[in-house]
Amino acid sequence: MVSSDTITEIFSNELGKSIKIHIPASTSFSSSVRDIIWALIQNETKYSARWKHRLQLMVDELVNNAIEHWSSWDNPVKILITFFHNDDVEIIVEDTWTGKVKVKAKELLDKAKNDRELMRTNPGSNKTIRWRWLALIVLNWSDDFSYKNNSNWWLTARLFKKFSSDCVEI
């Protein structure tokens, strides 16, 4: 893949609609991805404006982490968003591992959970915690979040947000 290529694929099935987006591992694409994600969430869900922004922020955090920390510059970051017919949303972001440091998915998730607990007990600590947005945003706003290492040692982040009564306009 040439570093400036992007790939988008949309497909539907009995569960809903999924959109695959592959972008170069470059922060220069972050704002474009943010805009695309916003448009998709705006058009494909019944979430309130507040929750649409929260979904956008969660995707933004996962994509930026994949770009900044784990992806090699010559391979794409892969994003898969599924909008289910019942308005649940699943977002999967896969990095392309730099090959420098092997990070175990469980250790990364445990660190984020520990950071979240530290910030609950000592709110002022959030200024010094490197992965604070993962702990503050993704873990607090998603209904299910996980990391896993795939066969190439790449990290795959998965978040799931269930559509519920607290997700609609009041």
Nearest residue to 144 (alpha-carbon basis) of 157, 156, 155, 160: 160
Q: Is 82 a domain residue?
A: yes
Question: Is residue 112 in some structural domain?
Answer: no
Report yes or no on 47 lying in a domain: yes
Domain span holding position 44: 7-99+137-164
Q: Does residue 87 sit within a domain? A: yes
As for how many domains the chain has, the answer is: 1
The whole-number pLDDT of residue 47 equals: 93
Q: What is the pLDDT of residue 160?
A: 96
Question: Is 128 among the domain residues?
Answer: no
Q: What is the CATH number of the domain that holds 92?
A: 3.30.565.10
**Within a domain: residue 105?**
no
Residue 113 lies in a domain: no
Q: Cα(first)–Cα(last) distance of the chain, in Å?
A: 45
**Tens-digit pLDDT string for the chain (170 aa):** 344 566 678 888 899 999 998 888 877 777 788 888 889 888 989 999 999 999 988 888 888 888 877 677 777 888 999 999 999 999 999 887 766 666 787 887 888 788 778 777 876 666 655 556 666 788 889 999 888 887 776 788 899 999 999 998 77
Helix, coil or strand: residue 99 = coil
Residue 104, domain member (yes or no): no
- Cα–Cα distances (Å) from 153 to 27, 70, 110, 156, in that order, read 22, 10, 18, 9
Q: Name the pTM for this structure.
A: 0.82
- Check: CB of residue 31 under 8 Å from CB of residue 77: no
